[in-house]
Every structure is written in C-alpha cells, then in structure tokens.
Amino acid sequence: MDAIFGRHARARMAVRRITTEMVAAVLAAPRRVEPSRGETVRYYGAADGRDIIVVVAHDHEPPFVITVMNDRPGGTGGRA
C-alpha cells in the first residue's frame, strides 16, 4: 500500500526507531486490522521481530499514516 506519512508519524517513527520499510511490511501483511476513530484503521503486525501498530486514515488518497507505535508482545494494542 502506498501511503503518505504525516509529520507526527515520522516523528514517532524516529523516536521509536521504526522505518518506513517496517511500516510497509505491516501494511502489506497485517496480523489484524481494526477500525479506530472516524475513518481511521489500526493495522497490527510484525516487522524485523517487533510488534507494531500503524494508524491510517483511509479518507485520503493515498492513505495517510497518522501515527506508528510499538505494540505489546502478542499484539494486544495495549489492551488486555
């Protein structure tokens, strides 16, 4: 999936050492996809041995990556 990365997403990726390639891997083969708020979707997946969540707005073309974060092992998204 081609996507545009917002300023916030790029800043979080830098802090968390998550590359655009890692995000692309999660978007290409997510473990799980969930609706979030409004037109946003959370993609849960793994890249380079790390569990990652990518939040994407699909009301843009191409889709807009809002933020990227580390997930807890097992892909719970910080939820029990």
**What is the pTM assigned to this prediction?**
0.86
pLDDT at residue 80, as a whole number? 39
pLDDT at 77: 56
What pLDDT score does 58 carry?
Answer: 84
| Rounded-to-integer distance, Cα 68 and Cα 43, Å | 10
Boundaries of every domain in the chain:
4-70
| The pLDDT value given to residue 74 | 54
Q: Are 65 and 3 in contact (CB under 8 A)?
A: yes
User: Rounded to whole angstroms, how far apart are CA atoms 34 and 44?
Assistant: 8
pLDDT digits (tens, 9 = 90+) for 12-59: 999 999 999 999 999 999 999 999 888 899 999 999 999 999 999 988
> Are the C-beta atoms of 19 and 3 separated by less than 8 Å?
no
Give the separation between CA 58 and CA 48, rounded to whole angstroms.
Answer: 25
